[in-house]
Amino acid sequence: MDTFPLRPREVFEALSATVVGQDAAIRELSVAIVKHLVGHPAPNILMIGNSGSGKTTLMRAIEQFLASRPDLSHSANVIRINANVLAEEHQGYGRVVLGRLFANARTILGTDAALPNLLRSVEHGIVFIDEVDKIRAQVSGQPNVRGIVAQEALLTLMENENVEFETNGMNFAVNSSNVLFIVGGAFEELYEAVFRRATIGQDVAPMKPIVVVSASGEVREELPFHLRDYLKYEDLFRYGMTPQFVSRFESIVVLNDLAESDLARIFVEPEASIFRTSRAYFQRFGIDLQITRGALIAIAWDAARQKRLGARALRETFRRVIGGLEFDPADAGSHVITVDEAMVKQTIAGREQGTPRPR
């Protein structure tokens, strides 16, 4: 018997080169993807994670990994869409998903592929739906029709053995119950609601602050809150995801909030990291961009303080540090530019005092 050419560990390792600090989520997704590709029942996955924690990055990384494998690219029909699209009436309430899978099947199998093969590819598709928290059934206590419609559209797709869709003026019917759905969202107010419950201690023991020491030596008190430890299904219902919807996800994965050490790695390690990208820019002018360890720690420390931005904060901080040099690289008058701790700290201090960006 031929063995399947892909193991979860291999997927995990490939994704880990791009996505930092989310090992548990990557593991779970790697197993689900391999199960699905091999033809085993795979759990639909709901990913919850703060803004900038890597949800979209993770979805994209899987998409790219599967596309990069010639032995899998034909069997892996993967699409990524924004949840808002599901609520578009003129697209046919979620049928757009099947239309997109069909179009993708034609791309990977060829426009002259036999219809049964195209439809089989649609039936075994992998669908990433991003920003699923935007399709709440109610917002501030008021029903949200678009959200209700979109959740129902997805439900129809998740369990229907005979869904019709139209594409290029032709009608088709498929069994969409084996399509793998991996959806994600930040669920911002959910964090707040559960955090409140956890801190006030309505139904759990209230949290006590712990003292943490950051990589830069700063000591501060923090509440050891991890959504994963406190999240209940009712929290998701209250947020506006219907019980029918939530129950279709056999797996709910909560992403980690990125720690200072993760942020430092994100800043330098991935192939398209902020630092590597910036280095490549300066290389075009014959300049070798370097960074000291102290500067790296200071950037990560600054980003970690901006809780709501996740890894996006790195970009903001670094832009302030490097902006002037990017404008006129030759002006530096040297073939090496080293970003050091003093430069970063000066920039951070400047921002706090509201002064213009230093050069």
Ligand X SMILES: Nc1ncnc2c1ncn2[C@@H]1O[C@H](COP(=O)(O)OP(=O)(O)OP(=O)(O)O)[C@@H](O)[C@H]1O
Contact by Cβ (8 Å): 297, 215: yes
In the bound state with Mg ion, the residue whose beta carbon lies nearer, of 124 and 134, is 134
Taking CB within 5 to 8 Å according to partner kind, which of ligand X, Mg ion, none is near residue 322? Answer: none
In the bound state with ligand X, the residue whose beta carbon lies nearer, of 54 and 99, is 54
**Three-state secondary-structure class, residue 288:** strand
In the bound state, the residue with its beta carbon closest to ligand X is 54
Cβ at position 56, least distance to Mg ion in Å: 3
Output the six-digit token pair for 203.
């139904």
Taking CB within 5 to 8 Å according to partner kind, which of Mg ion, ligand X, none is near residue 240? Answer: none
Alpha helices in the chain (DSSP H): 8-16, 23-38, 55-68, 95-109, 115-123, 145-159, 188-200, 227-230, 233-239, 243-246, 260-268, 274-283, 293-305, 312-327, 341-353
Taking CB within 5 to 8 Å according to partner kind, which of Mg ion, ligand X, none is near residue 136? Answer: none
Positions in the binding site for ligand X (CB under 6 A):
19-22, 49, 51-57, 186, 266, 270, 310-312
Beta-strand relationship, 219-222 and 78-82: unpaired
Taking CB within 5 to 8 Å according to partner kind, which of Mg ion, ligand X, none is near residue 49? Answer: ligand X
In the bound state, the residue with its beta carbon closest to Mg ion is 56
In the bound state with Mg ion, the residue whose beta carbon lies nearer, of 130 and 302, is 130
Cβ at position 130, least distance to Mg ion in Å: 6
Taking CB within 5 to 8 Å according to partner kind, which of Mg ion, ligand X, none is near residue 22? Answer: ligand X
Q: Total residues at the site for Mg ion (CB under 5 A)?
A: 2
In the bound state with ligand X, the residue whose beta carbon lies nearer, of 186 and 198, is 186
Q: Which amino acid is at 96?
A: V
Contact by Cβ (8 Å): 191, 50: yes
Please compute Rg for the chain using Cα positions: 23
Cβ at position 332, least distance to ligand X in Å: 26
In the bound state with Mg ion, the residue whose beta carbon lies nearer, of 56 and 306, is 56
Site for Mg ion in 233-262 (CB under 5 A): none
In the bound state with ligand X, the residue whose beta carbon lies nearer, of 172 and 195, is 195
CA distances 71 to 58, 61, 74, 76, 125, Å, are 21, 17, 7, 10, 16
Site for Mg ion in 20-79 (CB under 5 A): 55-56
Taking CB within 5 to 8 Å according to partner kind, which of Mg ion, ligand X, none is near residue 186? Answer: ligand X
Angle at 179 between CA 174 and CA 181, to 5 degrees: 140
Give bridge partners of residue 185 from the DSSP assignment.
48
CA distances 139 to 25, 195, 221, 295, Å, are 28, 19, 33, 43
**Three-state secondary-structure class, residue 181:** strand
Taking CB within 5 to 8 Å according to partner kind, which of ligand X, Mg ion, none is near residue 94? Answer: none
Cβ at position 64, least distance to ligand X in Å: 13
CA-to-CA distance for 274 and 267, rounded, in angstroms? 6
In the bound state with Mg ion, the residue whose beta carbon lies nearer, of 56 and 156, is 56
The site for Mg ion (CB under 5 A) is made up of 55-56
